[in-house]
Amino acid sequence: MIETITELDALRERVRGWKREGLRVGFVPTMGNLHAGHYSLVMLARQYADRVVSSVFVNPTQFGPNEDFTRYPRTPDADTAGLEGAGCDVLWLPTVESMYPFGVELASRVRVPGVSSVLEGECRPGHFDGVCTVVSRLFNQVLPDVAAFGKKDYQQLAVIRQLVADLQFPIGILGGGIVREADGLAMSSRNQYLDADQRPRAATIHRVLRDMRDACLAGAPRTVVEAQAGAQLRDAGFVVDYAALRLPDLAEPVDGMHGPRVALVAARLGTTRLIDNIEF
Protein backbone atom coordinates (compact mmCIF):
# COMPACT_ATOMS: atom_id res chain seq x y z
CA MET A 1 0.00 0.00 0.00
CA ILE A 2 1.24 3.49 -0.82
CA GLU A 3 1.53 5.84 2.16
CA THR A 4 0.52 9.48 1.71
CA ILE A 5 2.56 11.91 3.84
CA THR A 6 1.66 15.58 4.28
CA GLU A 7 4.01 16.61 7.13
CA LEU A 8 7.73 17.17 6.58
CA ASP A 9 8.69 15.66 9.96
CA ALA A 10 6.84 12.44 9.07
CA LEU A 11 8.55 12.28 5.67
CA ARG A 12 11.99 12.77 7.23
CA GLU A 13 11.25 10.07 9.83
CA ARG A 14 10.16 7.59 7.15
CA VAL A 15 13.25 8.22 4.99
CA ARG A 16 15.57 8.10 8.05
CA GLY A 17 14.09 4.70 8.95
CA TRP A 18 14.79 3.36 5.46
CA LYS A 19 18.36 4.67 5.54
CA ARG A 20 18.94 3.08 8.97
CA GLU A 21 18.02 -0.22 7.30
CA GLY A 22 20.58 0.48 4.57
CA LEU A 23 17.94 1.00 1.87
CA ARG A 24 18.48 3.29 -1.14
CA VAL A 25 15.85 5.94 -1.76
CA GLY A 26 14.62 7.00 -5.21
CA PHE A 27 12.61 10.16 -5.90
CA VAL A 28 10.27 11.27 -8.70
CA PRO A 29 9.09 14.89 -8.39
CA THR A 30 5.86 15.70 -10.26
CA MET A 31 3.12 18.28 -10.50
CA GLY A 32 0.43 15.60 -10.55
CA ASN A 33 -2.15 14.72 -13.22
CA LEU A 34 0.02 11.71 -13.78
CA HIS A 35 0.23 9.57 -16.91
CA ALA A 36 2.29 6.65 -18.22
CA GLY A 37 5.34 8.90 -18.62
CA HIS A 38 5.40 9.64 -14.89
CA TYR A 39 4.80 6.01 -13.98
CA SER A 40 7.73 4.96 -16.17
CA LEU A 41 9.92 7.30 -14.06
CA VAL A 42 8.74 5.59 -10.86
CA MET A 43 9.66 2.24 -12.41
CA LEU A 44 13.03 3.64 -13.51
CA ALA A 45 13.77 4.95 -10.00
CA ARG A 46 12.82 1.55 -8.61
CA GLN A 47 15.58 -0.05 -10.67
CA TYR A 48 18.15 2.06 -8.77
CA ALA A 49 16.53 2.22 -5.34
CA ASP A 50 14.82 0.02 -2.75
CA ARG A 51 12.13 2.58 -1.90
CA VAL A 52 10.56 5.29 -4.07
CA VAL A 53 9.05 8.61 -2.99
CA SER A 54 7.05 10.68 -5.46
CA SER A 55 5.90 14.23 -4.78
CA VAL A 56 2.87 15.99 -6.21
CA PHE A 57 3.18 19.76 -5.94
CA VAL A 58 1.93 22.32 -8.47
CA ASN A 59 4.75 24.78 -7.98
CA PRO A 60 3.60 28.41 -8.27
CA THR A 61 7.12 29.82 -8.72
CA GLN A 62 7.70 28.13 -12.09
CA PHE A 63 4.59 29.54 -13.79
CA GLY A 64 4.63 32.95 -15.47
CA PRO A 65 1.88 35.49 -14.70
CA ASN A 66 -0.13 34.56 -17.82
CA GLU A 67 0.45 30.80 -17.64
CA ASP A 68 -1.83 27.97 -16.54
CA PHE A 69 -1.06 27.69 -12.78
CA THR A 70 -4.68 28.00 -11.65
CA ARG A 71 -6.14 25.73 -14.32
CA TYR A 72 -3.34 23.14 -14.18
CA PRO A 73 -5.24 19.83 -13.83
CA ARG A 74 -5.37 18.41 -10.29
CA THR A 75 -6.38 14.73 -10.03
CA PRO A 76 -5.27 13.52 -6.57
CA ASP A 77 -7.26 10.26 -6.38
CA ALA A 78 -6.19 8.98 -9.79
CA ASP A 79 -2.58 10.03 -9.07
CA THR A 80 -2.50 8.10 -5.79
CA ALA A 81 -3.91 4.96 -7.39
CA GLY A 82 -1.55 5.21 -10.37
CA LEU A 83 1.53 5.73 -8.20
CA GLU A 84 0.62 2.72 -6.10
CA GLY A 85 0.24 0.63 -9.27
CA ALA A 86 3.66 1.80 -10.47
CA GLY A 87 5.31 0.67 -7.22
CA CYS A 88 5.73 3.98 -5.41
CA ASP A 89 6.06 3.63 -1.62
CA VAL A 90 5.38 7.18 -0.42
CA LEU A 91 3.40 10.03 -1.95
CA TRP A 92 4.77 13.31 -0.55
CA LEU A 93 2.19 16.11 -0.68
CA PRO A 94 3.69 19.42 0.49
CA THR A 95 1.54 22.54 0.73
CA VAL A 96 2.53 25.95 -0.66
CA GLU A 97 2.95 27.12 2.96
CA SER A 98 5.27 24.26 3.91
CA MET A 99 7.28 24.56 0.68
CA TYR A 100 7.69 28.33 1.02
CA PRO A 101 7.55 29.01 4.79
CA PHE A 102 8.46 32.71 4.34
CA GLY A 103 5.96 33.10 1.48
CA VAL A 104 6.55 32.89 -2.26
CA GLU A 105 7.75 36.50 -2.57
CA LEU A 106 10.39 36.16 0.18
CA ALA A 107 11.52 32.67 -0.85
CA SER A 108 15.26 32.21 -1.46
CA ARG A 109 15.71 31.48 -5.16
CA VAL A 110 18.05 29.11 -6.96
CA ARG A 111 19.21 30.15 -10.42
CA VAL A 112 21.34 28.06 -12.75
CA PRO A 113 22.85 30.42 -15.32
CA GLY A 114 23.91 29.44 -18.84
CA VAL A 115 21.84 26.41 -19.76
CA SER A 116 18.70 28.04 -18.23
CA SER A 117 18.94 31.12 -20.41
CA VAL A 118 18.36 29.70 -23.93
CA LEU A 119 15.23 28.24 -25.66
CA GLU A 120 12.67 27.71 -22.83
CA GLY A 121 14.54 30.31 -20.78
CA GLU A 122 13.94 32.92 -23.50
CA CYS A 123 10.26 32.00 -23.93
CA ARG A 124 9.45 31.55 -20.22
CA PRO A 125 11.59 34.01 -18.25
CA GLY A 126 12.07 32.86 -14.64
CA HIS A 127 10.63 29.39 -15.31
CA PHE A 128 13.82 27.47 -14.57
CA ASP A 129 14.52 29.62 -11.49
CA GLY A 130 11.18 28.35 -10.14
CA VAL A 131 12.00 24.76 -11.11
CA CYS A 132 15.48 24.89 -9.52
CA THR A 133 14.09 26.59 -6.42
CA VAL A 134 11.46 23.91 -5.82
CA VAL A 135 13.65 20.95 -6.85
CA SER A 136 16.38 22.08 -4.41
CA ARG A 137 13.78 22.25 -1.64
CA LEU A 138 12.36 18.85 -2.58
CA PHE A 139 15.85 17.33 -2.62
CA ASN A 140 16.49 18.73 0.88
CA GLN A 141 13.15 17.37 2.10
CA VAL A 142 13.40 13.86 0.62
CA LEU A 143 17.22 13.42 0.69
CA PRO A 144 17.10 10.76 -2.05
CA ASP A 145 20.01 8.76 -3.43
CA VAL A 146 18.67 9.02 -6.98
CA ALA A 147 16.01 11.17 -8.67
CA ALA A 148 14.32 10.62 -12.04
CA PHE A 149 13.26 13.30 -14.54
CA GLY A 150 11.65 12.83 -17.95
CA LYS A 151 13.55 13.54 -21.15
CA LYS A 152 10.49 15.21 -22.69
CA ASP A 153 11.59 18.23 -20.65
CA TYR A 154 15.04 17.91 -22.20
CA GLN A 155 16.28 21.32 -21.11
CA GLN A 156 14.88 20.90 -17.60
CA LEU A 157 16.92 17.69 -17.25
CA ALA A 158 20.06 19.53 -18.43
CA VAL A 159 19.38 22.34 -15.95
CA ILE A 160 18.85 19.87 -13.08
CA ARG A 161 22.10 18.06 -13.91
CA GLN A 162 23.92 21.40 -13.78
CA LEU A 163 22.18 22.30 -10.49
CA VAL A 164 23.19 19.00 -8.88
CA ALA A 165 26.79 19.27 -10.09
CA ASP A 166 27.15 22.91 -9.04
CA LEU A 167 25.47 22.70 -5.60
CA GLN A 168 27.00 19.25 -5.05
CA PHE A 169 23.80 17.45 -4.13
CA PRO A 170 24.86 13.81 -3.51
CA ILE A 171 22.06 12.57 -5.78
CA GLY A 172 22.31 10.53 -8.98
CA ILE A 173 20.12 11.99 -11.74
CA LEU A 174 18.29 9.55 -14.04
CA GLY A 175 16.78 10.58 -17.39
CA GLY A 176 13.64 8.65 -18.36
CA GLY A 177 12.78 8.13 -22.06
CA ILE A 178 9.82 9.95 -23.64
CA VAL A 179 6.56 7.98 -23.56
CA ARG A 180 4.37 8.63 -26.62
CA GLU A 181 0.77 8.11 -27.69
CA ALA A 182 0.19 5.75 -30.65
CA ASP A 183 0.38 8.67 -33.14
CA GLY A 184 3.69 9.90 -31.68
CA LEU A 185 2.42 12.75 -29.50
CA ALA A 186 4.58 12.90 -26.37
CA MET A 187 2.50 12.27 -23.24
CA SER A 188 1.91 15.44 -21.26
CA SER A 189 -0.60 16.65 -18.71
CA ARG A 190 -1.25 19.60 -21.01
CA ASN A 191 -2.46 17.35 -23.90
CA GLN A 192 -5.90 17.29 -22.31
CA TYR A 193 -6.29 21.01 -23.05
CA LEU A 194 -6.39 20.09 -26.78
CA ASP A 195 -9.83 20.00 -28.42
CA ALA A 196 -10.99 17.36 -30.92
CA ASP A 197 -9.67 19.34 -33.87
CA GLN A 198 -6.30 20.14 -32.29
CA ARG A 199 -5.52 16.70 -30.85
CA PRO A 200 -4.71 14.91 -34.18
CA ARG A 201 -2.77 17.96 -35.42
CA ALA A 202 -0.63 17.90 -32.26
CA ALA A 203 1.08 14.73 -33.52
CA THR A 204 2.66 16.88 -36.28
CA ILE A 205 5.36 17.89 -33.78
CA HIS A 206 6.81 14.39 -33.64
CA ARG A 207 6.76 14.07 -37.45
CA VAL A 208 8.55 17.42 -37.75
CA LEU A 209 11.19 16.33 -35.22
CA ARG A 210 11.87 13.16 -37.21
CA ASP A 211 12.16 15.23 -40.40
CA MET A 212 14.62 17.55 -38.63
CA ARG A 213 16.72 14.56 -37.58
CA ASP A 214 16.65 13.05 -41.09
CA ALA A 215 17.53 16.36 -42.78
CA CYS A 216 20.35 16.96 -40.34
CA LEU A 217 21.77 13.47 -40.85
CA ALA A 218 21.55 14.04 -44.62
CA GLY A 219 23.82 17.07 -44.17
CA ALA A 220 21.34 19.99 -44.41
CA PRO A 221 22.59 23.22 -42.75
CA ARG A 222 21.15 23.94 -39.30
CA THR A 223 19.38 27.16 -40.31
CA VAL A 224 17.68 25.40 -43.25
CA VAL A 225 16.51 22.51 -41.06
CA GLU A 226 15.14 24.94 -38.46
CA ALA A 227 13.39 27.12 -41.05
CA GLN A 228 11.75 24.11 -42.75
CA ALA A 229 10.55 22.78 -39.40
CA GLY A 230 9.07 26.14 -38.44
CA ALA A 231 7.23 26.33 -41.79
CA GLN A 232 5.84 22.78 -41.42
CA LEU A 233 4.53 23.60 -37.95
CA ARG A 234 2.98 26.90 -39.04
CA ASP A 235 1.28 25.08 -41.98
CA ALA A 236 -0.32 22.74 -39.41
CA GLY A 237 -1.67 25.74 -37.49
CA PHE A 238 0.97 26.12 -34.76
CA VAL A 239 2.43 29.32 -33.42
CA VAL A 240 6.10 28.38 -33.12
CA ASP A 241 8.27 29.44 -30.18
CA TYR A 242 11.29 27.55 -31.53
CA ALA A 243 12.34 24.62 -33.69
CA ALA A 244 16.01 24.20 -32.90
CA LEU A 245 18.91 21.85 -33.63
CA ARG A 246 21.36 21.70 -30.75
CA LEU A 247 24.25 19.77 -29.24
CA PRO A 248 23.37 17.72 -26.13
CA ASP A 249 24.42 20.69 -23.93
CA LEU A 250 22.10 22.93 -25.99
CA ALA A 251 24.93 24.83 -27.68
CA GLU A 252 24.50 25.45 -31.43
CA PRO A 253 26.18 22.77 -33.59
CA VAL A 254 28.50 23.72 -36.43
CA ASP A 255 27.26 22.54 -39.85
CA GLY A 256 28.88 19.35 -41.09
CA MET A 257 29.82 18.06 -37.66
CA HIS A 258 29.01 14.52 -36.51
CA GLY A 259 28.16 13.19 -33.07
CA PRO A 260 25.11 13.38 -30.84
CA ARG A 261 22.57 16.12 -31.35
CA VAL A 262 19.03 16.92 -30.34
CA ALA A 263 16.14 18.60 -32.18
CA LEU A 264 13.73 20.50 -29.97
CA VAL A 265 10.34 22.11 -30.63
CA ALA A 266 8.09 24.35 -28.56
CA ALA A 267 4.88 25.41 -30.29
CA ARG A 268 1.37 26.45 -29.42
CA LEU A 269 -1.96 25.18 -30.72
CA GLY A 270 -4.54 27.69 -29.55
CA THR A 271 -3.76 28.28 -25.87
CA THR A 272 -1.94 24.97 -25.40
CA ARG A 273 1.85 25.06 -25.42
CA LEU A 274 3.55 21.77 -26.31
CA ILE A 275 7.23 20.84 -26.16
CA ASP A 276 9.00 17.77 -27.51
CA ASN A 277 12.42 16.67 -28.72
CA ILE A 278 14.32 13.86 -30.39
CA GLU A 279 17.90 12.82 -29.66
CA PHE A 280 20.05 11.33 -32.40
Task: State the binding string over 41-70 for ligand PAF (x if CB under 6 A, else -).
Answer: ------------------x--x--------
d(CA 280, CA 272): 27
Closest distance of CB 47 from ligand PAF, Å: 20
127 appears as a binding residue in the annotation: no
Closest distance of CB 131 from ligand PAF, Å: 5
Q: Identify residues 139-178 at the interface with ligand PAF (CB under 6 A).
A: 153, 156
19 appears as a binding residue in the annotation: no
Q: Residue 186 carries which DSSP code?
A: B
The three-class DSSP label of residue 180 is strand
Residues in CB range of 32: below 8 A, 6 or more apart = 56, 57, 58, 73, 74, 75, 76, 79, 189
Q: Are 242 and 264 in contact (CB under 8 A)?
A: yes
Residue 33 touching ligand PAF (CB under 6 A): no
C-beta of 86 vs 131, nearer to ligand PAF: 131
Q: Which stretch binds ligand PAF (CB under 6 A): 73-81, 116-124, 131-139, 207-215?
A: 131-139
C-beta of 30 vs 277, nearer to ligand PAF: 30
d(CA 152, CA 143): 24
Q: Which stretch binds ligand PAF (CB under 6 A): 12-20, 128-136, 192-200, 206-214?
A: 128-136
d(CA 11, CA 270): 41
188 appears as a binding residue in the annotation: yes
d(CA 13, CA 117): 38
Residue in 19, 239, 257, 242 with CA at minimum distance from that of residue 121? 242
Q: Which stretch binds ligand PAF (CB under 6 A): 28-36, 43-51, 79-87, 228-236?
A: 28-36
Active site residues: 38
Residues at the site binding ligand PAF, with contacts judged by CB under 6 A: 29-31, 59, 62, 131, 134-135, 153, 156
